[in-house]
Chain A
Amino acid sequence: MNAVRPGRDDVLRILGTVMDPEVPVLSVVELGIIRGVDVGDDGVKITITPTYSGCPAMHTMEEDMRGALAGHGITAVAFETVYAPAWTSDWIPPEAREKLRQFGIAPPGPAEQGGLITLTRRAKPVACPYCGSEHTERRSEFGSTACKAIHFCNACHQPFDEFKPF
């Protein structure tokens, strides 16, 4: 039982200060993993969904959320993980995408629809987050974390990460 019953907006505001440890300019709310906040007599229930199935940051983010809420006296907190609908990068809002770009990570384009089987690479070049050039090439679809791909800018000769459209 929490000492004071917090409002749903209070909880969301606090969660908005908890950053993704691997993409420290995005909060867990901006990342889109918070699927629901319910405040009841027994405490707060937070429904979350993983970005990628094996994302090792999920556990850290849960601990960080628990810590941030505890800092505001909210200690009765339960987490529930849901898998449907599956997380998509389309849930990241426009202002958060700009933060990504300023941090040096190309923001995701629209998540791919396409057919079930896409054997060829996406053709559209990803704009360099440093100089804006589209004279870039994809080096690998897999990067330093599950959510990123590696690109290289041929204009300013910088390697850069792309937050994958997913």
Chain B
Amino acid sequence: MTTPRVAAPRRTPPANPLFEYVLRVADDRLVLGHRLSEWCGHGPILEEDIALSNIALDFIGQASAMLALAGQIEGQGRTEDTLAYFRDEHEFRNALLVEQPNGDFAVTIVRQFLFDAWSVLVLDALQGVKHPQLAALAAKSLKEDRYHLRHSSEWMLRLGDGTAESHARAQRALDDLWRFTGELFETDAMDAAVAADGIAVDRESIRARWQEIVADVVKRATLTLPGDTQMATGGRRGRHSEHLGHMLAEMQIVARSHPGASW
């Protein structure tokens, strides 16, 4: 297992910060949606196979609309498909958490819970920003993500407070994934740059509320919150773990092998 390298802070803001900002929101959903779609046909029970595939579909749909918006903001003629299928690994802006492999069902659920609790809070903030299109997509996605959070938190309780085996696996997943949670609350030059566009998300207040939700569910699930640890970082600047490239290879191969194909 390698720890992603820490990238040097960006000295100058990017040419189009709003484009990059929307990419970050969209890429989290595209990558996590694809990861969840890998469960299709492999779920531990039929209902969960269907649930994870449904959630994947929500995320991919959200990503599609958000990438279309990003393309419009960029104004270079790139569509949601161009952005999804014809960017390389270093051009993706998702958090490292969502690209981590599915592992066992406990890993998938813990990853999902940590993300869902954060996502609901971020989307709630984004639905109030002064960019009408981004606010509309956030409000739409929030309705779906509230459902997702209920699903993943219920499974946290079932796995944590289930059998000795499910408890051990859930705890191991929580301990392993914890180091990817710090990145979710990072702020950088991009946040300052888009504040001028009326987009201000207070990540410190989101962090406080996220910690409350996570601590509450972890406690009720009879699990133990991991202690302070060195947090991994880099995804927002295109420095990814070794897992993303493999995922993209599979996600992009059809579009790249048959560019322009439609069906």
Which residue numbers of A lie inside 8 Å of B, CB to CB? 50, 52-56, 82-87, 116-121, 139-144, 146, 150, 166
Contact = CB atoms under 8 A, between A and B. Distances in A.
A53 B145 CA distance: 11
Given A118-B146, A140-B50, A142-B51, A54 B61 contact: yes
A53 B58 contact: yes
A142 B47 CA distance: 7
B135 interface: yes
Contact of B217 (A53, A85, A119): A119
Given A54-B60, A86-B140, A142 B149 contact: no
A139 B113 CA distance: 20
Given A140-B50, A140-B51, A141-B150, A84 B132 contact: yes
Nearest to A119: B153
A116 B58 contact: no
Contacts of B58: 52-54, 146
Interface residues of B, number: 40
B59 A54 contact: yes
Contacts of B141: 53
Contacts of B154: 119, 121
6 contacts: A54-B57, A84-B132, A116-B120, A117-B146, A144-B50, A150-B47
Interface in B46-60: 47-48, 50-51, 54-60
B108 to A, nearest CB: 15
A95 to B, nearest CB: 25
A36 B103 CA distance: 46
A37 B60 CA distance: 28
Given A83-B136, A146-B54, A146-B58, A53 B144 contact: yes
Looking at chain B's contact residues, the main secondary structure is helix
Interface in B27-82: 33, 47-48, 50-51, 54-62, 64-65
Contact of B57 (A117, A146, A166): A146
Contact of A83 (B33, B56, B117, B140): B140
Contacts of A139: 47
A117 to B, nearest CB: 6
- In the complex, the 10 A-B pairs of residues with the closest C-beta atoms, listed nearest first: A54-B61, A53-B61, A54-B57, A84-B136, A142-B51, A140-B47, A83-B136, A142-B54, A86-B140, A53-B62
Nearest to B135: A84
B150 A121 contact: yes
A56, A144, A146, most chain B CB atoms within 10 A: A146
A118 B147 CA distance: 9
A129 B62 CA distance: 32
A68 to B, nearest CB: 23
B244 to A, nearest CB: 21
A83 B54 CA distance: 20
Nearest to B66: A53
Contacts of A166: 143, 147
Contact of B151 (A86, A87, A142, A146): A142
Contacts of A117: 117, 120, 146, 149, 213
Nearest to B143: A86
B28 to A, nearest CB: 14
B63 to A, nearest CB: 9
B84 to A, nearest CB: 13
A92 to B, nearest CB: 16
A52 B51 contact: no
Contacts of B89: none
Contacts of A85: 139
A109 B57 CA distance: 24
Contacts of B146: 116-118
Given A55-B61, A84-B135, A119 B149 contact: yes
Given A54-B33, A54-B62, A119-B149, 8 more contacts: A52-B144, A56-B57, A83-B139, A84-B132, A119-B213, A140-B50, A141-B151, A143-B54
